[in-house]
Amino acid sequence: MPGLQHSVVIAAPPERVWAVLVDVERWPSLIPTVDSVERLDAGPLAVGARTRLRQPRLPEAVWTVTELTEGSSFTWESHSPGATVVASHVVEPHADGSRLRLSVTMTGPLSRIGWAMTRSLTHRYVDLEADAIAGAARSAD
């Protein structure tokens, strides 16, 4: 199963990192790899919630939350013909504040081809996203 995982330690408490992470509607103003976000459901992020996400150089995707542990993690997935992309977001306490772990995996009959086409872009985007979330969490008051 193609994929990647990226971790970053953030000098901010887990609650602050979590608040930035789940406020997906603010991502376009915080994260340079997100052009627009449209929540398709009202209320806080929860299992079953759907979000339309537009990113440069990638097709528009609808992401559905499949797992959520309040204050620490959420996973969502997006389906396209022949492939499913799963993205996990985990915030853990760390001696220096928090650790943010982001992971992306791709499954399905076309996943190896899809991953070959998007691997380097996905690596770059995940690195940029982790850095942007870290920066926003450190500067939040």
pTM for this structure? 0.93
Q: Which amino acid is at 114?
A: G
Q: How far apart are CA 46 and CA 63, in angstroms?
A: 12
Average pLDDT over residues 79-102: 97
Locate the domains of the chain by residue range.
3-139
CATH number of 3-139, picked from 3.90.1150.10, 3.30.530.20, 3.90.550.10, 3.40.50.620? 3.30.530.20
14-70 per-position pLDDT tens digit? 999 999 999 999 999 999 999 999 999 999 999 999 999 999 999 999 999 999 999
Q: Token pair 């299992």 is at which residue?
A: 47
Distance of CA 84 to the CA centre of its chain: 15
